[in-house]
């Protein structure tokens, strides 16, 4: 397994990470034993970096990861996401400091940790300027609650605005054989700004 730094300052994580949305049954029926076996297999292959979110199974994915870590004593490096209004109307997002603080606290409680290595804004709340959101996330960093922060599904222009306030550790955007949009500017912006593209 190859390892790299998230952002310019780390932490160092496996270049391949395990997305844990399936633990909440998004791709069909599953259970805790199957999820634990998946986490065992990830570790066996050198994967130490997990990606989850508050919205995955309304916290179920995070809960399973937390139970695994407690049972095994092994601590993954974790990226989780907040900002989508859980139980709200479709497309409802809230990036205010009180909402994100509550979401982050809930995520850490379910994960059984007092800090996450990477915290993403899952979706933008267009009523709040991205610069203000970065100020909130920087505050979480200063309080020792998160290592790096990032954004999911944003444009290069938004990344540049955010990075003008504070370094952005990572951007998580779809990039596949089907979707090549990041090649139109996001990959270049991340390279220029020292932001890891996930």
Return the active site residues. Answer: 56
Which residue shows structure tokens 């190859």?
2
Quick one: tokens of 141?
A: 């960093």
User: Which residues make Cβ contacts (< 8 Å) with residue 105, sequence separation at least 6?
Assistant: none
Q: Which of 154, 136, 158, 153 has the alpha carbon at shortest distance from 145?
A: 136
Q: Which of 88, 76, 75, 171 has the alpha carbon at shortest distance from 122?
A: 171
Q: How far apart are CA 36 and CA 47, in angstroms?
A: 14
150-176 CB burial, b ≥16 within 10 A, e <16: bbbebbbebbebbbebebbbbbbbeee
């Amino acid at each position: 397994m190859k390892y790299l730094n998230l952002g310019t300052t780390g932490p160092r994580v496996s270049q391949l990470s395990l997305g844990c949305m399936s633990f909440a049954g998004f791709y069909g029926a599953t259970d805790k034993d199957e999820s634990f076996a998946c986490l065992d297999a990830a570790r066996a292959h050198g994967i130490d970096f997990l990606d989850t979110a508050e919205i995955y199974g309304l916290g179920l994915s995070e809960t399973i990861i937390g139970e695994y870590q407690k049972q095994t004593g092994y601590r993954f490096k974790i990226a989780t996401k907040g900002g989508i209004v859980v139980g709200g109307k479709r497309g409802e997002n809230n990036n205010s400091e009180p909402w994100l603080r509550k979401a982050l606290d809930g995520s850490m409680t379910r994960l059984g940790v007092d800090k996450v290595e990477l915290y993403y804004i899952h979706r933008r709340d267009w009523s709040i300027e991205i610069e203000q959101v970065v100020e909130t996330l920087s505050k979480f960093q200063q309080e020792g609650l998160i290592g790096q922060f990032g954004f999911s599904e944003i444009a290069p222009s938004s990344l540049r605005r955010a990075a003008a306030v504070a370094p952005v550790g990572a951007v998580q955007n779809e990039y596949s054989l089907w979707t090549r949009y990041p090649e139109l500017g996001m990959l270049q912006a991340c390279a220029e700004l020292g932001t890891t593209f996930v």
